[in-house]
Amino acid sequence: MVSQLQLSSLTPTPSRTTQNEVRWLEWIKQQDDPYPALRVFSENYHYFSINQAVSFARLFSVIPAHDRDSLVFLADMLHQELGQGKSDTVHSVIFERFAKAVGVDMSKLPLAADQVVEGVRWYACELDRGFGGSLPCALATYQFVEGSGIDTYAPLLGILRDIGLSEEDLEFFTLHAEVEIDHTAIAANIVERARETFTPEQNQAFNTQKWLLQRAWEQFWGDILLACQRETSNLAVSN
């Protein structure tokens, strides 16, 4: 499928873990009852999940038509993200099983843009703008997104297993904990090949977009943490 993009020749992408992401994970771990917070997380993450898949498709408009290796891989990525032709295995649908397991009122989903926390809305907007932008902007966005999940899924999976959620309910996280490592390495290969032809201005645009996404990603987790803490303390007061 991606024979020309050999994984063995790739170097890992640097970590994109944010301080707020680590703070959120640490905080969730300490909760006697993490379910109210997990519901807040799920509702917000679901918004991100469904929107990023559509934004990702914009990337195809900037990949050179002769770069069949990249196009084949990206098409396969989108095919996987959208369930490989089966609506019940679309990744956001698999995520909905997790949301249901932690008690989300499924009739609320998907949340509207004005119902999610600001950081999630901002990050989703930046992804959409980035994937639909120039080649440097789109590739920076692609590389950032591929790397951003790696540091989240594995530790979160451990925490969710400790809480007692079943493997079936955690399929979204196990799936991504496995595939994101290879996907990130291949993304790095696609991006680095393209960057060999970049002008200094294009490199500047690439770096600026990554810097912007890092800021938005930090706020994404910071605002989720605040919303989770607010929900948990509101419930403690009302009980």
| 46 interacts with Fe ion by CB under 5 A | no
Residue 13 contacts residue 184 (beta carbons within 8 Å): yes
C-alpha–C-alpha distance, residues 124 and 131, integer Å: 11
From the CB of 45, what's the least distance to Fe ion, in Å?
A: 11
**91 binding Fe ion? (CB under 5 A):** yes
Smallest distance from the beta carbon of 233 to Fe ion, in angstroms?
32
AA identity, residue 234: N
Here the tokens at position 21 are: 């992401």
Does residue 16 bind Fe ion (CB under 5 A)? no
In the complex with Fe ion, which residue's Cβ is closer, 50 or 191? 50
Pairwise CA distance, residues 17 & 220, whole Å: 12
Residue closest to Fe ion (Cβ) = 91
Stretch that binds Fe ion, among 88-96, 118-126, 195-203, 206-214 (CB under 5 A): 88-96
Helix spans in the chain (H): 19-30, 35-56, 68-81, 91-101, 118-131, 135-148, 150-163, 171-195, 200-238
User: What minimum distance in Å lies between the beta carbon of 213 and Fe ion?
Assistant: 17
**What φ, ψ does residue 111 adopt, rounded to 5°?**
-65, 150
Tell me whether residue 109 or residue 226 sits nearer to Fe ion (CB atom).
109
Toward Fe ion, which CB reaches closer, 46 or 91?
Answer: 91
Number of residues located near Fe ion, criterion CB under 5 A: 2
In the complex with Fe ion, the residue whose CB is nearer, 206 or 221, is: 221
Question: Which 148-187 positions form the footprint of Fe ion (CB under 5 A)?
Answer: none
For residue 35, how many other CB atoms are within 10 A of its CB?
Answer: 15
Which residue lies nearer to Fe ion by CB, 81 or 231? 81
Burial class (CB in 10 A: 0-12, 13-18, 19+), 33: exposed
Nearer to Fe ion, 67 or 171 (CB): 171
Binding to Fe ion (CB under 5 A) within 66-85 occurs at 81
Closest distance of CB 55 from Fe ion, Å = 13
- Contact between 41 and 25 under an 8 Å Cβ cutoff? The reply is no
Helix, strand, or coil (residue 28): helix
Q: CB 27 → Fe ion: shortest distance, Å?
A: 25
Query: Can you give the binding site for Fe ion, defined by CB under 5 A?
Result: 81, 91
